[in-house]
């Protein structure tokens, strides 16, 4: 599914497309609709960078089973496990 944000909305909010994606990702993460991994992917950011964004806004990081499993898989893919 694709979501189209009209240019007039971006102009009205004075945001770039990347900033809009980040805002949506943060909001969905904060409402616990997306995991940390899902939200960082949606935002187009590395997970650590997304975590820094959350920290800068004093939003606590929810680290659940799915995030842990994703971290384990990433370590396996990198040959570190």
State residue 35 phi and psi, 5-degree precision: -75, 170
32 occurs within a structural domain: yes
Q: What is the mean pLDDT of residues 47-60?
A: 93
Q: Tell me what pLDDT residue 14 has.
A: 97
Assigned domain for 1 exists: no
Whether residue 21 lies inside any domain: the answer is yes
* 69 in a structural domain: yes
Is 63 part of any domain? yes
Domain count, the chain: 1
Instruction: Say if residue 40's pLDDT is above 90.
Output: yes
**Which domain, by its residues, includes 50?**
7-77
Asked, for residue 2, whether it belongs to a domain, the answer is: no
Q: b/e for 7-26, b at 16 or more Cβ within 10 A? A: eeeeeeeeeeeeebbbebbb
Confidence at residue 25, expressed as pLDDT on a 0 to 100 scale: 97
User: Do the domain assignments include residue 30?
Assistant: yes
pLDDT at 20 over 80: yes
pTM of the entire predicted model: 0.73
What is the reported pLDDT for 6?
92
Q: Is the pLDDT of residue 67 over 80?
A: no
Asked whether residue 23 is domain-assigned, the answer is: yes
């Amino acid at each position: 599914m694709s979501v189209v944000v009209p240019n007039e909305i971006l102009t009205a909010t004075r945001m770039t497309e990347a900033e809009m994606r980040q805002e949506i990702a943060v909001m969905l993460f904060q409402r616990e609709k997306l995991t940390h991994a899902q939200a960082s992917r949606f935002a187009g950011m590395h997970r650590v960078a997304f975590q820094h964004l959350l920290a800068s806004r004093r939003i606590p990081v929810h680290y659940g089973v799915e995030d842990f499993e994703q971290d384990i898989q990433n370590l396996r893919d990198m040959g570190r496990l």
